[in-house]
Structure 1
Amino acid sequence: MLTNRQLLILQVIINDFIQSAQPVGSRTLSKKDEITFSSATIRNEMADLEELGFIEKTHSSSGRIPSEKGYRYYVDHLLSPVKLTKTDLDLIHSIFKEKIFELEKTVQKSAQILSDLTNYTSIVLGPTLSENYLKQIQIVPIQPDKAVAILVTNTGHVENRTINFPAKVDLADIEKLVNILNDRLAGVPMDELNERIFKEVVTYLRQHIANYDSILESLRSTFHPATHVEKLFFGGKINMLNQPEFHDIERVRSLLSLIEKEQDVLKLFQSSKAGISIKIGKENDYEEMENCSLITATYTVDTKQIGSIAIIGPTRMNYSRVVSLLQHVTSDLSKAFTSLYDE
């Protein structure tokens, strides 16, 4: 159990190191307004904190830096949200000012603005298409036996899929097909389209289209649920180069290589908890991230989690600011998506 004096010294050391990236000595601490005790007392308390494993000495300086244990204690017990500036809030709110809300543009803009505001790398996991509902479908013939299906979801996502017909299809039949699909599938979750077509839509195709069976088979691959994948959006991939901890090219190269592997990045989200989650240094799942901290936050529709945001930075991350930014962005994303899904 740390004393109040030790808690104060640990907090000041971490806050100073976050800002300066320089080891903190007793002389630096003695100049802080909140530190009112003698230099000898400061040195004794720092020695105790080092012995307890909360701070550690570097090879190049007589000062001390926080250890992973120190950061963990700070995050769990001393972290407090910071008040965001008007500039911060204006940038966050600009994400949602578009008159026409489009999922991909909004999520990508969220990633970019978070990286700009933190100077770290941001990754946003967008909702899978299976979480979306079909709003409208158009089918545009491009050859006698080929067409493009344009699917628009309730969140503004647009996806083009090729339909290969086994033989030439009459334009009048395509028009009937579009009308039937829009009438029967609007409002259906994207991952249920295939099932609905073969259970319900087939009846209407049989009634109105002569060679409905060949068209039906063509639709099978077009609406297969396996096409619905999670999508990642990045901001500030090379922001790590701005951090003094990553002036070592080999260190940053291995981290950037990890970020380029989509399946590895997805695992970062899979191992994170709902709400705000913080992993520090070796708590991370990958060796490439042992000098990093990962903060993740989830956004929801009602109480259902539909996406996540991750911020990757050095262990010397400005935790308070990042947590406050994530709380604002995820809250706004949740509200925006809830309004769309309720339409």
Structure 2
Amino acid sequence: MLTQRQDDILHLIIHNYTNLGKPIGSKTLMEEGIAASSATIRNEMKTLEEYGLMVKTHSSSGRIPSLKGYRYYVDHLLEPEKLNQSEIDMIREAFGRDFHEINDIIKQSAEILSHLTSYTALSIGPDVRNRRLTGFKMVPLNNRQVIAIIVTDKGNVENQVFSIPRDVDSDDLEKIVQIINDKLINEPLLTVYQRLRTEIPMILHKYFQTTEGILELFNNMLNEAFEEKIFVGGQMNLLNSDQVQDVDQFKAMYLFMKNSQRLNELLSAKDQPIQIRIGSELGNDLLSDMSLIQANYEIQGHGNGTIAILGSASMPYSKMFSLLDVFRRELAGTLNEYYRSIDSFG
């Protein structure tokens, strides 16, 4: 463990550096209230450097935090910064619009958070596995294409354009829709998923010579409905950051941000309301100089969701911690209100 003075010095260096982006020297620390001589402070800074908690820059006698220093700060020294009322009002105002489905809220939350923080924001909505199928229809687009729409009882809407098999006409499509709705409406998605592999093919075969294309379509759409969607706000904030040094890294980062499976894996830890992971803790070499602040929330009866920011390891942790805490509560409140409106309407 560090001494109290070393704690104070590290705290002030990180607080100043994350807000100003400049190396911090002994003179600044004296002005900030460290009651010691300049020589004593420099000796303490050298000790902290030897512990691997900070790094001396080449351009001055000042120090900047190391990744290990940030980790120590988060674990032992972080004090959440109180948000001012205008910041809280801004978050509430952003959620004060009308939303037409759950994914609208989740997508908007990522965009709002990215705008507020200037970091890349990631948002995952509550679990979907207990939802029920409440609607299925096909809308013709032209002679050979239709858009198929799946609706669940919790406001999720999935749609997909597909080509009609040549041996299926419009009357066939109406019959298929009728069968699906008669047999599967108001069933849990898991039940729908199972019956599409057992009962429904046998029923369809009574009416059609081939049903492979239609069943494949519905299967693909249900996979979409089951998928834990992740929405990204402010993607270019990350791609344009100082952490991206060359074209190859830009390409790799771009592909990473487009890979929903890898992003979901990044946010898979959900055992704490708010957690901060730094550098190698993110499990990806691309993110070795970055930090992720992840805030989790629970919607009673509807599962858990996650909102997070990804950016430089030198982000102002105390401010971002508080902002994420307020944000997750406002997001959960918005989702709860939406679910109540659906339940009361139903």
Query: TM-score, normalization: structure 1?
Result: 0.80
SS at match of 1:41: helix
Q: How many residues align?
A: 336
Displacement of 1:188 after TM fit?
Answer: 3.1
Q: Work out whether residues 134 and 190 of structure 1, in 8 Å CA contact, stay in contact via their aligned partners in 2.
A: yes
Displacement of 1:72 after TM fit?
Answer: 0.5
Match of 1:220 in 2: 215
Match of 2:98 in 1: 99
Letter in 2 for 1:155: G
Q: C-alpha separation between the residues in 2 aligned to 1:185 and 1:13? A: 61
Q: C-alpha separation between the residues in 2 aligned to 1:167 and 1:248? A: 54
Displacement of 1:35 after TM fit?
Answer: 2.6
Match of 1:84 in 2: 83
Matched, 1:19 2:14: no
Q: C-alpha separation between the residues in 1 aligned to 2:177 and 2:258? A: 38
Displacement of 1:71 after TM fit?
Answer: 0.6
Displacement of 1:302 after TM fit?
Answer: 2.9
Match of 1:28 in 2: 28
Q: Out of 300-309 and 106-115, give the one that drifted further.
A: 300-309
Q: Work out whether residues 237 and 256 of structure 1, in 8 Å CA contact, stay in contact via their aligned partners in 2.
A: no
SS at match of 2:267: helix
Q: C-alpha separation between the residues in 1 aligned to 2:328 and 2:298? A: 8
Q: Out of 269-278 and 114-123, give the one that drifted further.
A: 269-278
Q: Out of 194-203 and 21-30, give the one that drifted further.
A: 194-203
- For 1:150-197, what per-residue CA distance to the aligned partner results, in whole angstroms no more than 9, with x for missing partners? 2222224342454846755675x8667656644653443334323245
Percent of aligned pairs with the same residue?
Answer: 37
SS at match of 1:324: helix
**Structure 2 unmatched ranges of 5 or more:** none
Aligned mate of 2:306, from 288, 304, 308: 308
Match of 1:48 in 2: 47
Displacement of 1:2 after TM fit?
Answer: 1.2
Q: Work out whether residues 148 and 160 of structure 2, in 8 Å CA contact, stay in contact via their aligned partners in 1.
A: yes
Match of 2:274 in 1: 276
Letter in 1 for 2:286: E
Displacement of 1:306 after TM fit?
Answer: 4.1
Match of 2:59 in 1: 60
- Residue 280 to residue 338, structure 1, CA distance change in 2 (3 Å): same
Query: TM-score, normalization: structure 2?
Result: 0.80
- Residue 211 to residue 280, structure 1, CA distance change in 2 (3 Å): same
Displacement of 1:21 after TM fit?
Answer: 0.9
SS at match of 1:111: helix
Displacement of 1:23 after TM fit?
Answer: 0.7
Q: C-alpha separation between the residues in 1 aligned to 2:211 and 2:337? A: 34
Displacement of 1:126 after TM fit?
Answer: 4.1
SS at match of 1:321: helix
Q: C-alpha separation between the residues in 1 aligned to 2:210 and 2:297? A: 39
**Structure 1 unmatched ranges of 5 or more:** none
- Residue 168 to residue 70, structure 1, CA distance change in 2 (3 Å): closer
Q: Work out whether residues 241 and 252 of structure 1, in 8 Å CA contact, stay in contact via their aligned partners in 2.
A: no
- For 1:218-241, what per-residue CA distance to the aligned partner results, in whole angstroms no more than 9, with x for missing partners? 652232143443333222222247
